[in-house]
Every structure is written in structure tokens, then in C-alpha cells.
Amino acid sequence: MKFSLVAGTLKIMESTTKRLELTSHLVDLFKKTPSEIIANVVYLLQGKLRPDHEGVELGVAEKIAIRAISKSAGVPVKKIEHEYHEGGDLGQAASKVLEEKTQTTFLTQTITVERVYDTLYKIAELKGARSQDMKMKYISSLLNDASPSEAGFILKIITGSLRLGIADYTIMDALAIAFTGSKENREALEKAYNVSSDLGKVAAAVAKDGINAIKNFKVSVFSPVRPMLAERVKSAEEAREKMGSEFAAEYKLDGERVQLHILGEKIVLYSRSLENITNYYPDIVEKISKSLNAKQLILEAEAVAVNEDTGEFLAFQELMHRRRKYGIHKAVSQYPITVNFFDVMYVDGKSCLDLAYKERRKLLENIIREDSFAKLMPMTIVKTNNEVEDVLENAINTGCEGLMLKQLDLPYRAGARGSNWLKLKREYRNELGDSLDLVVIGAFFGRGRRTGRYGALLLATYDDQTDTFPSICKVGTGFTDENLDQFYQILSDKITLKKNPRINSGLEADVWFEPELVIEILASEITLSPIHKTAIDVIRKGSGLALRFPKFTGRIRFEKTPENATTDQEIISLYNGQKRVVQDERQNYI
Ligand code: AMP
């Protein structure tokens, strides 16, 4: 098939944004495309060579593309760079300089879709030191035989600027019309796409065997399922209006969504955007099989950074240290995680997508053998607003972002955002700009690398009305090895056999101290807490205030007496003070 058919369609499509017109141009193109190559045409239209999860990258540096144009057009690199900077698009720059050349020469070849695709695929496969030169030669050979406008589109595909041009749903509309005669069938195509994440495969099936081939599309291992998404709600009340009288409240952990595909020994991990992220999690690949009671699985989990010594969840940013090409093994030991499973999509040959949530959860509970690495996402079935709020409070206090609320009787809707799943975060966050000076009242024995020392300290504020020390947080972060030794020594003089009566704590420490030592702490915010006793009953009945993500700054305030520590009143006014609307913390990353 002539590549000019594809390039011609792209050219007319560039001149309109109307969806109906875009669709009808694509319908014309698809009808002229042989079914054997329609998958590749669809990928090229999407500006890629294979579905994203296969990770086939062209990997052509701009510099190389410019050299290829220069070679084919016989003009200096500088001139192409100039055109590129003027217009901002390398494809256009290529068309322009090649246009000038074709006025003086004749084209000898008709370039085909097959040749363009195969050459680009070869380019993607080239690796190693000398590959850039080879890439340049391949591109230049295509440009030699392409018309200026074809060359422009080839360059756009190579440099990734064609991506995002044509929406997936427009391609699906056009496929439905071209091969089933009706746009109504688009829903079936979308379903097939949602379970395979491969629009080329969907196109090939419908082009060859019509709508029935599409209806037979099955979930399969190593074809990622497009994830189900959640709608945001502002309150427990709003959630209940949408969900009815009984639903599941799961913790919403602040990590990375991971779709695990497992077939015997082979494990592949996909991100929320279905990129292959296996390389960032060698620990999951190594350890997870022993926690699973089946051999063929597709599971969903949230990977979360944790403090290994205390078991506390850490902020999402900590996990992002693993996003690196080199030194991943060091990052794995520096930023340990737990894997918190919340859904199952496929077990031993069978799709679970059509099962109700409560049945999938039951299956999941049978599949996962929990240990210190693999966990089930904490879940409570809730009926009243109060119950939702209590679970939310607990979730926030263990370091979660909020809750995911899920309908008990509904299936997994791949690729869809709907009211089957709701996310409930708090509307406001009480941010702490300043550090606090807190009294060490107790400690917990360390595990792992902290064995033989304290893993975490229990801290309190000072309540000057009652002359007591109410607890406010447990802190295990921010300590160097030296700090840990130092604390072990200093605190050994302050151990008491019984808890000092001036201590008011919601947690049972392993060791209690005379409330004497004051240390400096930073935290991300102050939250309501069902556990800690600072400002108990003041903001809400039955709740105190606690610190989220507390961290030792490295300063011991030897100069302060415990009565000089931050008071509960100061915490209350900080809590009531600056409020900031909670924003999505991940937007900068994913
Ligand atoms: P958001 O990114 O705010 O739209 O929230 C959805 C994300 O929350 C998902 O993509 C997951 O990464 C994450 N998440 C955390 N806990 C859960 C859970 N229990 N169920 C589903 N998703 C969860």
C-alpha cells in the first residue's frame, strides 16, 4: 500500500478539528487498507510502532534526524536548524527543504507503508554505540524516496510530534464505521481495547473477521488492562448519595499503581499509564511469587515506600527515587516498599472483570498470603457517614491520602471513570511551615538495621493547663546511624519502669522515659487522630491531633526544658490556622 495514502489522510486531517470530518477521512483510509497491514497503519496514525506497553521506542536523537535531512536534501545542518527554530516542527522543516530539492530532481520510487514501517522498526531495534550512524542512514534512505509531505510525516513520527494528534476514540469510531457499517459497534471495540490496550490488534481483528472477532476479545497475561478510574467526592455524605447504603472503604495509599502480570516464573509490571515498569521494582519480581496462591494472575496493587524499621508509610516522592536507569539496586535498598493488593483481574485462565467487587475481593483474599512485603489493602465495609469518617481519619493517620470507596456489587470497568469507584480525600490540609519542639516520652525497639537500638520515638507536646505531656506522634524518620546511637545512650538514663503519670499517651511504647529530652521535628501537616492525645476532644469528640510524616531535623534541643516544648494550644492554633486546598500531589510525576 502506498504511504502517500496515509500521508495524504494525515495532511487533510491537519486542516480540521471537527470530529466527524476527522472520522470520515479515517474511514476512507481504513477501507483502502489491506487487513494484513491495518494494525501497523493504526500504530503509525498514533505516532508509534507498537502499543506503548511493549516499550518499542524509536530512540532517534533530534541531532541525528537533522543530519539525515541534511544528507537527503543536500543542505547544511545549520539551514535545517534555522528552519526548525523558525517553525518549531522538524517535520515541517524537512518538508520545506526537501520541497526545494524536488523542484530540481525527479522521484524514482514510490514509497510503501510496509517499507516505512519496517524501516522504522529496524531503527527502533538498533542498539549500541554505532547505532546512531545506522539510524541516520536508514532515515536518510526513506527521505530520499519520499515526497516532501511524506517526509514531513515520517519525521513527525520519528520525533514523536505526531503523538496525541488523533484521539483513540476517533480511530475506534472510524474502525466501527469502516468494518461493521455502524458507529454503534464502537462500544464493543472500546471494550476490546480496554482489555488489550492494543488498538492495532483490535483494528486487525475487526478488519479481518468483523464484529464477532471483537466480541471474543479476552483478557490475557502480558496484555495490560486499561485501569479503572475513580471519581472524586468531597464528603462522606456525597459518597453515600452516589453509592447507596453499604459499600467498601479501602485505604487510598500514596504510592504507584502497579498492574502485575504473572505467568509461572515470568513477571511483568505495568504502570497506571501501562508503561512497562518492571525494571524499577526488582524486589517485586524477586519476592512476590512466594506470597501468591496461583500461577497465572493479573493483579492490581499500590506500591508504597515504607520505613522498614517502623513500618510507617512514606510520602509518594520517596518512591520516585526509584525512577532511574542506573543504580536501581541501591535505590531498592534505600527506599524499601510494601505491595498492597486491591484487585484481581485474571486467575488461572479466567477473567475476573465481570465478577462483582465483593467476589473479586474474596478471591484476592484467597490468593494473597500476607507477609511483611505483600499486603492486602485494608478494607472496611461501611454503612453510615460516621463510619466513613472514622475510616478516613484512621487512613490519614497511617499516612494515606484518603479513601477509595467501591460499590460491592459492580464489576471492574476497565478504562472507565465512573461512580463505581469514588475517591475521598480531605478538602483542606493544615500545612506546617515551622518546626516543632517535642518531648521524647517513649520508644519502640528497632527491627532490621535498627535492631539493638530504638526504631522510633514517641513524642508529646506540653499541656500547661494540666501540666501533662499528651502524645502527638511516633517518629522513625530523619535519624542517621549516629543519631540512633546517641539517642540510645542519652535515653538509657531516662528509662522508667512505669509510665510517668504526667504522660498521656494513646500508644503503648516498648520503653517509657522521664519526659525530659526535647527534640526538633518537621512534619507535613497536623491531622485529626483517633490515637494521640494532644488536644483530645477539642476539635472533634474522641479525636486528638497528630503529625503527618514527622521527621527528626537532626537537632536535639538540650537547652530546652520539657515545659518549654511546643504546647497543645500552639498545635490547636496551627491546626486552625492556614488551610490549603488539597491538590493532587502526583501531578508532577505521573
Ligand atoms: P487519583 O490518582 O487521585 O485519581 O486516584 C487513583 C489512584 O489511587 C490509583 O491510580 C491508584 O494508584 C491509587 N490507589 C491507592 N489506593 C487505592 C485503592 N485502594 N484502590 C484503587 N486505587 C488506589
pLDDT tens string 5-45: 999 998 888 887 788 888 999 999 999 999 999 999 999 99
**Residue recorded with cell 465495609:** 381
Q: Are the C-beta atoms of residues 224 and 52 closer than 8 Å to each other?
A: no
How far is the centre of ligand 1, averaged over its atoms, from the C-alpha of 404 (Å)? 7
Question: 95-99, 337-341, 357-361: lowest mean pLDDT where?
Answer: 95-99
Residue nearest atom 17 of ligand 1, based on CA coordinates? 252
Residue 346 DSSP one-character state: E
Q: Are the C-beta atoms of residues 567 and 575 closer than 8 Å to each other?
A: no
- With a 6 Å cutoff on the Cβ, whether 272 touches ligand 1 is yes
Q: What is the mean pLDDT of residues 238-249?
A: 92
**What whole-number distance in Å separates Cα of residue 75 and Cα of residue 176?**
45
Reported as a single tens digit per residue, the pLDDT across 404-414 is: 999 999 999 99
Question: So which residues are the catalytic ones?
Answer: 252
CATH no. of 229-428: 3.30.470.30
Q: What is the mean pLDDT of residues 536-546?
A: 92
Amino acid at 325: K
Q: Are the C-beta atoms of residues 315 and 524 closer than 8 Å to each other?
A: yes
Q: What pLDDT shows up at residue 578?
A: 64
**What whole-number distance in Å separates Cα of residue 229 and Cα of residue 590?**
14
Please report, rounded to a whole number, the percentage of residues in the chain having pLDDT higher than 70. Answer: 95
User: Range(s) for CATH 2.40.50.140 in the chain?
Assistant: 433-585
Q: What pLDDT shows up at residue 165?
A: 67
User: Range(s) for CATH 3.30.470.30 in the chain?
Assistant: 229-428
Q: Is the pLDDT of residue 584 over 60?
A: no
DSSP string computed for 357-402:
HHHHHHHHHHHB---SSEEEPPEEEE-SHHHHHHHHHHHHHTT--E
What's the burial of 455, exposed, middle or buried (CB within 10 Å: 0-12/13-18/19+)? Answer: buried
How far is the centre of ligand 1, averaged over its atoms, from the C-alpha of 545 (Å)? 26
Write down the number of H helices and E strands in the chain: 20, 23
What long-range pairs does 269-274 form, CB within 8 A, spacing at least 24?
270/53, 270/224, 271/590, 272/227, 272/590, 273/52, 273/590, 274/51, 274/52, 274/53, 274/197, 274/224, 274/226, 274/227
Q: What pLDDT shows up at residue 419?
A: 67
Q: How far is CA 417 from CA 107, 125, 421, 500, 536, in A?
A: 50, 36, 8, 53, 39
Amino acid at 67: R
CA-based torsion, 62, 68, 72, 78: positive or negative: positive
Higher-confidence residue: 69 or 308? 69
Q: How far is CA 528 from CA 94, 306, 468, 500, in A?
A: 60, 22, 20, 25
**Residue recorded with cell 524499621:** 309
Question: Three-class SS of residue 228?
Answer: coil
Q: What pLDDT shows up at residue 427?
A: 64
Q: What pLDDT shows up at residue 588?
A: 43
Q: What is the mean pLDDT of residues 246-274?
A: 94
Q: Is the pLDDT of residue 587 over 60?
A: no
**Residue recorded with cell 515526497:** 147
Q: Is the pLDDT of residue 80 over 70?
A: yes
Average model confidence (pLDDT) for the chain?
89
- Order the strands of the 417-425 sheet from edge to edge: 229-233, 417-425, 402-406, 247-252, 379-382
CA-based torsion, 449, 453, 458, 462: positive or negative: negative
Q: What pLDDT shows up at residue 231?
A: 85
Q: What is the mean pLDDT of residues 290-311?
A: 92
Question: Three-class SS of residue 302?
Answer: strand
414: left (phi over 0), alpha (psi -120 to 50) or beta: beta
**What whole-number distance in Å separates Cα of residue 290 and Cα of residue 259?**
17
- With a 6 Å cutoff on the Cβ, whether 404 touches ligand 1 is yes
Q: What pLDDT shows up at residue 428?
A: 62
Q: What is the mean pLDDT of residues 459-480?
A: 94
**What whole-number distance in Å separates Cα of residue 558 and Cα of residue 445?**
23
Residues near 342 by Cβ (< 8 Å), separated by ≥ 6? 250, 300, 301, 302, 364, 376, 377, 404
Q: Is the pLDDT of residue 418 over 50?
A: yes
Reported confidence tier of residue 589, pLDDT bands at 50, 70, 90: very low
3-state SS track over 430-449: CECCCCEEEEEEEEEECCHH
Q: What pLDDT shows up at residue 278?
A: 95
Of 477, 462, 475, 464, which Cα lies nearest the Cα of 533? 462
Q: What is the mean pLDDT of residues 513-527?
A: 92
Please report, rounded to a whole number, the percentage of residues in the chain having pLDDT higher than 90. Answer: 57
**What whole-number distance in Å separates Cα of residue 43 and Cα of residue 27?**
16
How far is the centre of ligand 1, averaged over its atoms, from the C-alpha of 273 (Å)? 13
**What whole-number distance in Å separates Cα of residue 482 and Cα of residue 466?**
36
Q: What pLDDT shows up at residue 582?
A: 63
- With a 6 Å cutoff on the Cβ, whether 318 touches ligand 1 is no
Question: Hey, what's the cell of 551?
Answer: 521527621
Q: What pLDDT shows up at residue 309?
A: 76
For the CA of 254, the closest atom of ligand 1 is 15
- With a 6 Å cutoff on the Cβ, whether 378 touches ligand 1 is no
Residue nearest atom 18 of ligand 1, based on CA coordinates? 252
Residue 535 DSSP one-character state: T
How far is the centre of ligand 1, averaged over its atoms, from the C-alpha of 464 (Å)? 42
For the CA of 250, the closest atom of ligand 1 is 19
Q: What pLDDT shows up at residue 590?
A: 40
Amino acid at 234: K
Reported as a single tens digit per residue, the pLDDT across 142-184 is: 988 888 889 889 988 888 777 656 888 899 999 999 999 988 9
How far is the centre of ligand 1, averaged over its atoms, from the C-alpha of 253 (Å)? 7
Q: What is the mean pLDDT of residues 564-585?
A: 79
CATH no. of 433-585: 2.40.50.140
Question: 49-58, 259-268, 278-287: lowest mean pLDDT where?
Answer: 49-58
Q: Is the pLDDT of residue 221 over 80?
A: yes
Q: Given ligand 1 and candidates 404, 407, 421, which is best to mutate, with the most ligand atoms within 8 Å of its CB?
A: 404
Question: Hey, what's the cell of 95?
Answer: 518538508
What long-range pairs does 146-149 form, CB within 8 A, spacing at least 24?
146/3, 146/98, 146/111, 147/4, 147/7, 147/102, 147/107, 147/111, 148/94, 148/95, 148/96, 148/98, 148/99, 148/102, 149/7, 149/8, 149/11, 149/95
For the CA of 401, the closest atom of ligand 1 is 15
DSSP string computed for 34-101:
-GGGHHHHHHHHTT-SS-GGG-------HHHHHHHHHHHHT--HHHHHHHHHHHS-HHHHHHHHHHHH
**Residue recorded with cell 467526592:** 233
